[in-house]
Amino acid sequence: PHFIIELPEKNDSLCFNINNRPGTIFNLVRDPKSGILVNGQVIGEKKISPNGEVKTYFWRFGIVHKTLGVRLEVSTKDISVFQDGKWVKLLWSDTASVKGPNVDLLVTKDRSLTVTLKDSVKFVILLHKVWEKHPYHRDYLGFYTLDRHLLSNSVHGLLGQFYHGIEYEVTNLRPGAVPEKPDATMYVKGHELNVTRGWQRDFRRDVKNGENVPCWFIHYNGTGLIDGDATDYIVSGLF
Amino acid sequence: STNEAKVEVYSMTVDSTVTSRFAHTVMTSKALNKANSSQEIFFEVELPKTAFITNFSMVIEGQVYVGEVKEKEKAKKQYEKAVSSGQTAGLVKASGRTMEKFSVSVNIAAKSNVTFILTYEELLQRKFGKYEIQTRVKPKLPVQDFHIVTNIYEPQGIAFVDAHANFLSNELLPLVEKTVTDKKAHISFSPTIEQQRKCPGCDATQIDGDFIIKYDVNRAETLGDIQIVNGYFVHFFAPPDLPRVPKNVVFVIDRSGSMSGRKMEQTREALLSILKELHEEDYFALIQFDSEIDSWKESLTKATKENVDEAMVFVNRISARGVTNINDAVLRGVNMLLTDRQQKRLHERSVDMIILLTDGMPNSGVSAPHLIQENVRSAIGGKMSLFCLGFGDYVDYSFLDVMSKENKGLARRIYEASDATLQLQGFYEEVSSPLLSEVDLRYPDNAVDFLTTNHFAQLFNGSEIVVAGRLKDEQLDNFMVEVFGQGLEDDFKVQGQASPQDWNVMYPDDEYIFGDFTERLWAYLTIQQLLEKSKSGAPDEKANATAKALDMSLLYSFVTPLTSMVVTKPETEDGTDSPLIADKLTEEQRQQADRLGTTVSHSYRAQALYPQPSYFVDGD
């Protein structure tokens, strides 16, 4: 999956990929104070693509709000919500809206799920549907944070650590391996990194084609940009 | 300028009158549409950033269309109305470091004439011991009737006048005529159409660039020169032969990642040459910072040759890394100066200053600009001056500008270019030779009011202090003037009488110079100072200063960042008219234009609000 940190105030974005074996579960957001947890599990292509690269995508997210007693499991197949002591299942094939005391859900048929957890966080999960008979690809999900301002200062995770903002400086722009993607030096979190100007796609407005977001790409699973190592974010279960 | 040869610019005149440093320039261009159909004619000129446009008018077929200065909000409504009906309006663009560009276009009928007249005024500032009048001329083709004429009237007497242009060839050089008498100078440059041509018979012109006049006045009086004209007075203070005061200077140098490469190299070069210029009685310190702050030594060091040599080794090792913690770096400098003062390590009569050089927004430690400003102001507590150099296009200039002005200093933008080293050195030279500190110019309360700023933290060598005000009684014959300051050995104290001069005796052959110049000079200076005040201080003070500046801009017809000049274009074929607008950019708008490499079309552009940051993960 590709991660994008859009920083409109700087008129800039940062991006990195995290790849690991299919089946791995990563922690994306963890806020011990408000009891919020977002974990995601990756899946690989149906078979190894001709170039030998193993690409992975998120196909399942587990979301917990301990304080509100809410649990959500969202996969490419369906959406399950646990609240008030019972599980409710929603289908991607329906357009549905559920308003509860602690959580609001809005499913747009075969396209997106918007989740608002009371007084804490709002996000949208996009469903990317792929032709069923595609030889390599399969359905996958995207996770976009819409509002995180009520989360605490202790929020962390692969995405959560950036909710505090990120300071960096980029300099020494120079030709890169590909003419349209120059390299540069980035100073961030005390590291000096070699980064590449490129772009990644934001699918919120156009789920099929996406929109290009120019960004500084941080190589090697975001090493130097993320706290610690990508493997530090691996967790054993979805919840 | 014209799109086709069917439009001929047949006359171009730049006429400047400088009276006691106050320059009034009128640029006139006349063009003829020789075609059988109507044509769009462009008028594009550049004027100094420090100038305010005071009039813009057009004459078409004998009909005069005069500009009117309006409050920006009101002009905006007129402008928006024009734009919504698909019409264009005038544009002001940033243009290089010292000039800004004004351009409009108008549709002219077949075989018709148009005359554009732009007037602007500025108070010339003395730097490095001279005043400078810069005129930029860029006719696209040779012009039949071409003149640059400047008349300078300086009652103090003219010390020297130097005129040159960057387009002057050996053939054109003798055409610059210069006549200087005791109190008056006349400079003119009027090449014929043939002399303007790049080569005989060809259409290209060699007149393209800056015509610059530099001059200074005589300075005999310690009190300075006080001129009283038509109920207003102006006091120019730059006494001769004052010894320089030793200084204690802390250089706070940004070495964050974004400084790497050329900027860091130029900073090192400039620092090396600045260190060499230090006087032996000066004290200095070097602090370099990214997110970490390292100082060369823990206290200020006397600028002996050995110490300077050692410091140069340190400077040579400064290299870029990390992010930017301006707050702690400046505070380290402040504390160093305060401690050394407390421990009496520094000369008692010496001036304390911090020179901060940075290229970017603070993003480590305390990073909110208003908090840094607050911290620095409270740490400095009026005890030293802070000068800020903002390097490059991405620096938050207004943050540095406010912070300097709150601490008896000033800020300067350093443009990223091959001469950045010279820009850095130049700024240092400007502020590095204090002659007096805490200068107070006092006038009797019962004689004058509406004074411009009359207290100055320093007087630097080669500069000049200017104070203006209004006489309470126009018939007043004289009043007492006193100046106090702190010099090298003693307190500087001087007093004398100011009395009106008879301009008819001084300039018997000049029937009219422009009689209200002292009042306009006072208004110009007052507006400039109010605009500065509107950037910092308490919210009600800011609002008050803005309101006063607006009132005066309207009253004296100055195009400032608060006003616009509106000229209503003649009706077009569809029976509609549309306004032409002249505006004034702020330093922030200029910087934005530089950064984007585009036009800033007044402030009417919708200001895009930053959306929330966004964090997401997805797949291709």
pLDDT single digits (tens) B347-390: 988 999 999 999 978 888 898 999 999 999 999 999 999 999 99
A211 in contact with chain B, both atoms CB, cutoff 8 A: no
Q: Say what the pLDDT of residue B606 is.
A: 25
Nearest to B479 by CA among B449, B439, B454: B449
* Residues of chain B with C-beta less than 8 angstroms from the C-beta of A203: 618
On the question of pLDDT at B81 being above 80, the answer is no
Local structure of residue B559 (DSSP, 8 states): B
Instruction: Name the closest residue on chain B to residue A141, using Cα atoms.
Output: B618
Tell me whether A129 touches chain B (CB under 8 Å). no
Chain B CB contacts of A7 under 8 Å are: 613
Residue B467 in this model has a pLDDT that exceeds 70 = yes
**Contact yes or no for A169 and B360 at CB 8 A:** yes
In this predicted structure, what is the pLDDT of residue B610? Answer: 40
The minimum CA-CA distance between A25 and chain B, rounded to whole Å, is: 14
Question: Which residue does chain B place closest to A18, by CA atoms?
Answer: B617
pLDDT at res. B83: 56
A199 to chain B, any CB pair closer than 8 A? The answer is no
Average pLDDT score, chain B: 86
What is the per-residue pLDDT for B153?
A: 93
Does residue A4 belong to the interface with chain B, where contact is any CB pair within 8 Å? yes
Query: Quick one: average pLDDT of B533-560?
Result: 91
Tell whether the model's pLDDT for residue B112 goes beyond 70: yes
Range name among B89-98, B115-124, B408-417, B563-572 with the lowest pLDDT average: B89-98
Mean pLDDT of B257-263: 87
At B77, is the secondary structure helix, strand, or coil? helix
pLDDT tens track for A138-165: 899 999 998 887 888 899 999 999 998 8
B321 close to A (CB below 8 A): yes
Query: Any CB–CB contact under 8 A between B610 and chain A?
Result: yes
- pLDDT at position B95: 59
Give the pLDDT mean for B500-525: 79
**pLDDT higher for B439 or B321?**
B439
How large a percentage of chain B has pLDDT more than 90? Answer: 55
Please provide the average confidence, as pLDDT, over all residues in chain A: 89
Q: Which long-range contacts (CB under 8 A, 24 or more apart) does B219-227 make?
A: B219/B156, B219/B159, B221/B496, B222/B494, B223/B481, B223/B483, B223/B494, B223/B495, B223/B496, B224/B465, B224/B483, B225/B155, B225/B156, B226/B481, B226/B498, B227/B20, B227/B155, B227/B500, B227/B501, B227/B518
- Predicted ipTM? 0.77
* pLDDT higher than threshold 90 for residue B481: yes
Q: Which residues contact B438 (CB under 8 A, 6 or more apart)?
A: B455, B457, B484, B485, B486
Averaged pLDDT for residues B93-115: 79
pLDDT mean over A117-126: 87
Query: Region B176-180: what's the mean pLDDT?
Result: 95
Residue B599 has pLDDT above 60, yes or no: no
Contact list in B for residue A3 (CB cut-off 8 A) is 615-617
Which of B87-101, B234-248, B469-483 is predicted with the least confidence, judged by mean pLDDT? B87-101
pLDDT at B575: 47
Among A2, A171, A202, the residue with its CB nearest the CB of B619 is A2
Residue of A nearest to B256 (CA): A169
Q: What integer is the mean pLDDT of B45-72?
A: 88
Residue B94 has pLDDT above 80, yes or no: no
Pick B614's closest partner by Cβ from A6, A28, A58: A6
Q: Are residues A145 and B363, on separate chains, in Cβ contact within 8 Å?
A: no
The pLDDT-based confidence of B601 (bands split at 50, 70, 90) is: very low
Place B511 in a pLDDT band, splitting at 50, 70 and 90: low
- Say if residues B212 and B500 touch (Cβ distance below 8 Å): no
Q: Are strands B434-442 and A140-147 parallel, antiparallel or unpaired?
A: unpaired
Residue of higher predicted confidence among B604 and A5: A5
Q: Supply the DSSP string of B362-389, one letter for each residue.
A: --SSS--HHHHHHHHHHHHTTSSEEEEE
As a whole number of angstroms, the distance between CA A68 and CA A58 comes to: 25
pLDDT beyond 60 at B611: no
B600 confidence band (pLDDT: 50, 70, 90): very low
B500 or B562: which carries more pLDDT confidence? B562
In this prediction, residue B235 carries a pLDDT of 95
With CB atoms and an 8 Å threshold, state whether A201 touches B620: yes
Tell me B222's DSSP state: S
Three-state secondary-structure class, residue B574: coil
Average pLDDT over residues A61-89: 91
Higher local confidence (pLDDT), B176 or B80: B176
Using CA atoms, how far residue B425 sits from B10, B274, B391, B398, B412, in Å, is: 43, 6, 13, 22, 12
Residue B312 has pLDDT above 90, yes or no: yes
Arithmetic mean of pLDDT, A180-202:
90
Q: Minimum mean pLDDT among A83-92, B409-418, B473-482: which range?
A: B473-482
Question: pLDDT above 90 covers what percent of chain A?
Answer: 52
Least confident of A40-44, B412-416, B473-477, B533-537: B473-477
> In angstroms, rounded to a whole number, what is the distance separating the alpha carbons of residues A93 and A76?
11
Compute the nearest-CA separation of B546 from chain A (Å). 28
Return phi, psi of residue B491, to 5°.
Answer: -70, 140
Dig out the tokens for B267 from the structure. Answer: 């900073």
| Cβ-based contacts of A190 with chain B (< 8 Å) | 291, 322
**Do B614 and A4 lie within an 8 Å CB cutoff?**
yes
| Digit-coded pLDDT (tens) for B202-253 | 888 999 999 999 999 998 788 999 988 888 999 999 998 899 899 999 999 9
| A2, A159, A200 member nearest B615 (Cβ) | A159
B319 touches chain A (CB under 8 A): no
Give yes or no for residue A33 having a pLDDT over 50: yes
In chain A, which residues have their Cβ closer than 8 Å to the Cβ of B615? Answer: 3-6, 144-145, 148, 159, 162-163
Amino acid occupying residue B334: V
The answer to whether residue B266 neighbours chain A at the CB level (below 8 Å) is no
Please, which residues 362-401 of chain B have a Cβ atom closer than 8 Å to chain A? 363-364, 367
Over residues A217-231, the pLDDT tens digits come to 999 999 999 999 999
Q: Output the pLDDT for position B615.
A: 76
Residue type, A178: V
Residues B465 and B449: their CA atoms lie apart, in Å, by 18
Task: Find where tokens 């995770």 sit.
Answer: A157
Question: Which pLDDT score is estimated for A112?
Answer: 94
Residue B5: the pLDDT is: 60
Contacts of B487 (CB under 8 A, 6+ apart): B242, B243, B245, B349, B435, B436
Among chain A residues, CA nearest to B611: A8
pLDDT confidence of B598, banded at 50, 70, 90? very low
| Residue A159 forms contact with B (CB below 8 Å) | yes
Distance (Å) from the C-alpha of residue A17 to the closest C-alpha of chain B? 9
Grade residue A126 by pLDDT with cuts at 50, 70 and 90.
Answer: very high
Choice between B216 and B602, residue whose per-residue pLDDT is larger: B216
